[in-house]
Amino acid sequence: MKRLLLSLLFVALLSTTYSCRETTQEKTEDALESIGEDIENGAENAGDAIQEGADELNDEIQRNDDVMDDDA
């Protein structure tokens, strides 16, 4: 009887450990996906900021060209 009880406890312990490992793996995968999405969003935001800066620089250059043409 004691062996049976110990065997059942051992099986229960193994199944708990196995299910926890799957849960940890799923959480890790979810975290990696979230990190990937954050990186993608950050890259898009950086690209938008660079484009906006380039547009502002172009506008400033155009205004300076207009001023230079007026002075000439």
Per-residue pLDDT of the chain (72 residues; tens, 9 = 90+): 788 888 888 888 777 776 666 777 888 899 999 999 999 999 999 999 999 999 999 999 998 877 676 665
- Sign for the CA dihedral angle at 40, 41, 47, 50 comes to negative
- Which pLDDT score is estimated for 19? 66
20/28 Cα distance (integer angstroms): 12
21/9 Cα distance (integer angstroms): 18
55/50 Cα distance (integer angstroms): 9
- Which pLDDT score is estimated for 27? 87
